[in-house]
Amino acid sequence: MRAFLRGVAERPVLCCLVLAPICLGLQAFVGLRTPVYQGDSSPIFLMEAQRMLAGEAIYRDFFELTLPGTPLAYLALFKVFGVRAWIPDLAWVLLGTGLAWVGVLIAKHLVDGLLALLPSALFLAFAFATEPDPTHHWWSALAAMGALALVMEKRTRWRITGAGFLCGLSALFTQSHGSAAVLGIALFLLWEGRVKKQPWREPLGREVCLLASSFAAAFPVVAYYAAKAGIRRLVFCTVIFPLKYFPKWYWNTPQVYLAEVPLNSGWLQVPAVGIWLFMHLLVPMVYLVLLVRCWRQTPTRQEEPPPGAGTDRLMLLSVVGLSLFAGIASSVSWLRLCATSLPAMVLLVWLVRSPGRVRTLIRGLLWIAALAALVFQGITAQIDWHGFLRLPVGRMAFDDPARYAKFQWLANHTRAGDWVFEADDCDVYFPLDLRDPAAVPFVTATAYTRRDQIRGVLDALERHRVPWVLWSLWLDVPKPRARGTQDPNFDAGRLEPIRAYLRHHYHPVQAFADDAFEQVWERNSSAGEASPRR
Provide the edge-to-edge strand list for the sheet that holds 420-422.
Answer: 420-422, 468-472, 518-523, 506-511
Tell whether 529 is covered by a domain. no
Alpha carbons 309 and 285: distance in angstroms, whole number:
21
Note down the domain range covering 413.
400-523
Alpha carbons 189 and 206: distance in angstroms, whole number:
7
The answer to whether the Cα torsion of 121, 122, 123, 129 is positive or negative is: positive
Residues 407 and 444 in one domain: yes
How many independent structural domains does the chain possess?
A: 2
Tell whether 161 is covered by a domain. yes
Tell whether 393 is covered by a domain. no
Residues 173 and 301 in one domain: yes
Neighbours of 111 (CB within 10 A): 20
Tell whether 232 is covered by a domain. yes
- Whether the CB-CB separation of 346 and 106 falls below 8 Å is answered with yes
394 by DSSP, 3-state: which? strand
Tell whether 17 is covered by a domain. no
Residues 496 and 354 in one domain: no
Alpha carbons 100 and 342: distance in angstroms, whole number:
9
Residues 365 and 462 in one domain: no
Give the length of the chain: 534
Residues 357 and 408 in one domain: no
DSSP string across 47-102: HHHHHHHTT--BTTTB--SS-THHHHHHHHHHHHH-S-THHHHHHHHHHHHHHHHH
- Strands 468-472 and 420-422 come out as parallel
Residues 510 and 439 in one domain: yes
Tell whether 278 is covered by a domain. yes
Q: At what angle do helices 157-173 and 201-229 cross, to 10 degrees?
A: 30
DSSP string across 275-296: HHHHHHHHHHHHHHHHHHHHHH
473 by DSSP, 3-state: which? helix
Alpha carbons 442 and 457: distance in angstroms, whole number:
10
Backbone region of residue 188 per phi and psi (left: phi > 0; alpha: psi in -120 to 50; beta: other values): alpha
Per-residue pLDDT at 7:
55
| CA dihedral of 12, 380, 273, 140, whole degrees rounded to 10 | 50
Residues 375 and 427 in one domain: no
- Whether the CB-CB separation of 120 and 20 falls below 8 Å is answered with yes
Tell whether 27 is covered by a domain. no
Per-residue pLDDT at 309:
39
Per-residue pLDDT at 229:
95
Alpha carbons 173 and 145: distance in angstroms, whole number:
13
The answer to whether the Cα torsion of 154, 155, 158, 161 is positive or negative is: positive
Is this structure's pTM higher than 0.75?
Answer: yes
pLDDT tens-place string over residues 201-249:
888 899 999 999 999 999 999 999 999 999 999 999 999 999 999 999 8
Q: What is the largest CA-CA distance in the chain?
A: 85
Which CATH number characterizes residue 447's domain? 3.40.50
Residues 238 and 114 in one domain: yes
- Along the chain (534 residues), what's the average pLDDT of each consecutive run of 10 residues? 55 83 94 88 96 96 97 97 96 97 94 92 95 95 96 92 97 96 95 85 90 96 96 96 92 84 66 86 82 62 43 89 92 93 94 88 93 92 94 95 94 96 94 96 94 96 96 85 66 92 95 86 71 41
By CB atoms closer than 10 A (0-12, 13-18, 19+), residue 164 is: buried
Per-residue pLDDT at 261:
77
Alpha carbons 398 and 428: distance in angstroms, whole number:
13
Residues 319 and 238 in one domain: yes
Residue type, 73: A
- Whether the CB-CB separation of 408 and 52 falls below 8 Å is answered with no
pLDDT tens-place string over residues 33-51:
899 998 789 999 999 999 9
Residues 376 and 404 in one domain: no
- Whether the CB-CB separation of 140 and 336 falls below 8 Å is answered with no
Per-residue pLDDT at 302:
41
Residues 93 and 63 in one domain: yes
Q: Whose CA is closest to 60, among 78, 48, 70? A: 48
Residues 449 and 338 in one domain: no
Tell whether 304 is covered by a domain. yes
Alpha carbons 80 and 352: distance in angstroms, whole number:
45
